[in-house]
Amino acid sequence: MKRVFSALLLALLALAVLPSLVRADGFIIVTDGSVLPPRPGHPVYAPLEVSRHQVKVEIEGQVATTSVDQEFYNPASRVVEGTYFFPVPRDAQIAKFQLEIDGKWTDPELLDAAKARAIYEDIVRRQKDPALLEYANNRLYKARIFPIEPRSHKRVRISYREVLPQDFGALAYRYPLNTEKFSAAPLKNLSIEVEAKLDRAYGSVYSPSHAVKVTSEAGGKRFRASFEASNLRPDTDFELLFAAPVKGTGEAPLSLLAYRDPLGAADDDGYFVLFAAPPVGAGGKAQPAPKDVVFVLDTSGSMNGPKIEQARKALSFCVNNLNAGDRFDLIRFSSENEALFGKLEENSADSRKRALSFIDGLKAMGGTAIHDALQRALEMKGDSARPFVVIFLTDGLANIGPSKNDEILGMLRKRSGAGTRVFSFGIGHDVNTHLLDQIAEQTRAASTYVLPTEDLEVKLSNFFAKITEPVLTELKLDVTGGDGVRFTSLHPQTLPDLFAGDQLVLTGRFRGKGEAQVTLRGKRAGQEQEVALKVSFDAPRERDASREFIPRLWATRRVAFLLDEIRLRGDHKELREEVTVLARKFGLVTPYTAYLILEDEARRDVPPERRALSQLGKDAAARRVAESTFKELREEQTGANAVAGARGQALARSADRASDALIAQNSTVYGAKAAAPMAAPVVEAVKRAESYTANASRFVNGRAFYQNGSQWIDATIAARGKSETKNPPQRIAAGSDEYFALLRKHPEAGQWLALGNSLLIHLGGVDYEIH
């Protein structure tokens, strides 16, 4: 029992106290023997459950105060005693660390790194469980906890203060949430709320780890960022980055984080992520920039019923939310097209009244003449410098007039000039996804797909509310100065327009070094605007955990871009090879990359015991699912699978978090396949393929590992064919003196060794087999 509570409380405290940029967790080690039957895959010394975990953070300037309220449950039938451990990262600047247990404040003992490492190593030797090794290089807070009553809850509160690191316009906050291996059951309730009080309006607020909700107060000088969840096992620390505006004539303050792997070659290309967002509250300083909007609605016979009703309501919302100074028109099309005004009309009470009457009278009948309807809309643009937006809604395939993709896209290229954006909404499954996605690509816009179970009114209304106020259009990015600094492989490749309340997240690679100036240029109401930022692109002296998300985020978007090239423009060997290399290196296993990895491993004769996707490869039926899914990506333009593929690819192309994109893409693509009318064995094979894909890899401390049987395999080893492996790995027994000597030689390997006692890993140019 003691051991149970100790392990749990330790996990809690670790979670609460570590907003530093290095991973660490608090946890409780039960010290009086096992009190519950062991749970498969869970440390025997951590039998307590975390029932509640609330975090409140107050940031003033650059100082953050974190308060944590946690509740642990002892499911055992007797009293236990535990020891609470809280690992402190080497670079953490923590002050006023306080620990309260059941309403009583206690002063934990602080141990230096050497003493802390000795404690961890002793536990690992005795328990034969390497889970604690990720903390092996940290100082340690330690406190005794007794008694932990049977079948009861114990409340623990933590409070600490720290100075947040600031780097070229961005502040970073981190809170440890890696408690999966310490809580004996999923967390029932988790909430994190960050309130920041700044001396001026902030710019971007971004979480690379969680989908946070952000609200603003006090003209943008305060913000709240929150995250809530229930019944989950957190395995990722909570991170929040935010930027104050930098000086410039534009309204889109920049922040940029650059990353170059300190373990890589000195001339390796680095990675970066750039954030740009209008300061909250800035939009109220002036009238929104005027824009021109043409709504183009498919009223063919297939739109009859709920779809036309939802379209009427959605268009009415859009018309009623046009800004003063906007101009607009509406075009309905079926076998032919009809415009309300026949030109761009000023937004007024009278024009809106006429538009709403036109919308109420829409009826669904006839065929689908897409080419002529879009051509008529584009002819309205004229020479105005205003943003020109076409909102195009259709539920079918072109079947009247020019109907081939090349014919419609060719017309679009001729008639859409700078400033033209065509946002497409595909309604249902019977739409041409290749056409809609290429229309969006050509016009720097986006395509949205509305499933039969979804509400068009909600989707279109939310979209129009987002684009109602353009802040910067025609964006361009430049970098000058430094020692040969230049950007490559940007994603998105073409920068989208920036709207009030919106945020640009751009990823890319860079070459060169030194301090350079990054400049973002664009137009607002036809006037040139720019904002610049000085950034250092020098290689770091040591690993920076706060930036390790950057390469994987870039790779997620890069793989999505390459797969779209295959989907929209044809399959090529070079595209497949680059997708395979990136997907395997960064653990990006999706319904499409899974088959390419399998195909590549078979072609290069990778030994079966070292393959990345061994379970999927051994299951013939699931493997056929993977193969057919990739074939559908290349060949199907319409239907449920094509729409699911387009939606999944859009999620990955615009991903803000790699892990979220993987989950969403897997569920979207495999969900559509499983919902199709198929024999039960095929449905089961789809479900197994989804499970293999979702659980194949772990991305830890900047490196991917794949599970082959009971062994975890380093991605750098899994990538080799039989002829590429020259020397057998050095075998080292887990928990031996040689094992801990290896950890001291390669301290960065702590989180990797913590995966388990059966591991194939590459360190310092040598392969090691931990057994």
Six token digits for residue 211: 């989908």
Whole-number CA gyration radius for the chain: 28
Per the listing, tokens 């301290």 go with: 747
First to last CA, the chain: 30
pLDDT at 33: 55
Confidence of residue 373 (pLDDT cuts 50, 70, 90): very high
Query: What whole-number distance in Å separates Cα of residue 27 and Cα of residue 99?
Result: 13
Which pLDDT does position 9 carry in this prediction? Answer: 28
CA distance 96 to 609: 51
Sole residue written with tokens 């920041």: 196
* pLDDT recorded at residue 38: 62
Q: Is there a contact between 155 and 146 (Cβ–Cβ < 8 Å)?
A: no
Q: How many residues are there in the chain?
A: 771
Ranges 187-196, 619-628, 739-748, most confident: 619-628
Question: DSSP state, 209?
Answer: S
| The pLDDT of residue 284 | 45
pLDDT tens for each residue of 398-425: 999 999 999 999 999 998 877 899 999 9
Among 43-57, 210-224, 547-561, top mean pLDDT goes to 547-561
Measured CA to CA in angstroms, residue 534 lies from 38, 132, 293, 483 at distances of 54, 40, 37, 14
Q: Strands 420-427 and 697-700, how do they pair? A: unpaired
pLDDT of residue 279: 55
Residue 168 has pLDDT above 80, yes or no: no
**Quick one: average pLDDT of 455-481?**
89
Please state the rounded mean pLDDT for residues 565-569.
94
- The token pair at 295 is 């709504």
Round to whole Å and give the CA distance between 251 and 247: 10
Q: Which two tokens stand for residue 401?
A: 């007039």
Give the model confidence (pLDDT) of 535-566 as tens digits: 889 877 566 777 888 999 999 999 999 999 99
Q: Which of 210-219, 323-332, 462-471 has the highest mean pLDDT?
A: 323-332
Number of Cβ within 10 Å of residue 565's Cβ equals 16
* Pairwise pLDDT comparison (277 vs 416), residue with the higher score: 416
Distances, alpha carbon 434 to alpha carbons 592, 635, 643, in Å: 17, 10, 10
Beta-bridged to residue 446, according to DSSP, are: none
- pLDDT score of 356 more than 80: yes
User: What is the C-alpha to C-alpha distance for residues 312 and 424, in angstroms, rounded to an integer?
Assistant: 17
Contacts of 216 (CB under 8 A, 6+ apart): 222, 223, 280, 281
Residues 572-589: what's their mean pLDDT? Answer: 95
Per-residue confidence (pLDDT) for residue 447, from 0 to 100: 94
Alpha-carbon gap, residue 119 to 13, rounded angstroms: 17
* β partners of residue 330: 295
3-state class percentages of the chain: helix first, strand second, coil last, to nearest 5: 35, 30, 35
Residue 162's nearest CA partner among 210, 233, 220, 96 is 96
Q: Is the pLDDT of residue 18 over 70?
A: no
Residue 87 clears pLDDT 80, i.e. is over it:
no
**d(Cα 547, Cα 570) in Å, to the nearest integer?**
35
Return all residues near 305 (Cβ < 8 A) that are at least 6 apart: 364
**What pTM was computed for the model?**
0.86
Mean pLDDT throughout 485-501? 91
pLDDT level of residue 762 (50, 70, 90 thresholds): very high
More confident residue, 654 or 12: 654
For 89-186, where are the E strands, in sequence order? 94-101, 104-106, 109-111, 139-148, 152-163, 166-167, 170-175
DSSP code for 708: E
With b meaning 16 or more CB within 10 Å and e meaning fewer, what string describes 214-242?
bebeeebbbbebbbeeeeeebebbbbbbb
1 pLDDT higher than 50: no
* Residue 16 to residue 321: CA distance in whole angstroms: 44
pLDDT value of position 335: 94
pLDDT value for 543: 67
pLDDT at 234 over 70: yes
Closest CA to 231 of 72, 68, 52: 52
For residue 558, how many other CB atoms are within 10 A of its CB? Answer: 24
Q: Which among 446, 452, 369, 449 has a CA at the least distance from the CA of 642?
A: 449
Residue 17 has pLDDT above 50, yes or no: no
In the predicted structure, residue 753 carries a pLDDT above the cut 80: yes
pLDDT for residue 32: 62
Quick one: which of 182, 191, 195, 196 has its CA closest to 210?
191
Q: Determine the average pLDDT of the residues in 123-147.
A: 73
In three-state secondary structure terms, 48 is coil
pLDDT at 34: 55
Strands 238-243 and 470-491: unpaired
Q: Are 215 and 242 in contact (CB under 8 A)?
A: no
Q: Say which residue, 2 or 124, is predicted with more confidence.
A: 124
pLDDT band at 22; cut points 50, 70, 90: very low
- Is the pLDDT higher at 162 or at 758? 758
Q: How many whole angstroms from its chain centre is CA 231?
A: 21
CA distances (Å), origin 80, targets 38, 389, 501: 16, 66, 52
Element (H, E) at 80: strand 80-88
Six-digit token pair at 573? 């060997």
Question: Which among 3-12, 165-174, 463-472 has the top mean pLDDT?
Answer: 463-472
Rounded mean pLDDT of the chain?
A: 84
What CA–CA distance (Å, rounded) separates 640 from 451? Answer: 9
Q: Is the pLDDT of residue 203 over 80?
A: no
**Residue pointed to by tokens 């095929």:** 682
> Taking residues 15-40, what's their average pLDDT?
50
The residue-averaged pLDDT of 295-301 equals 96
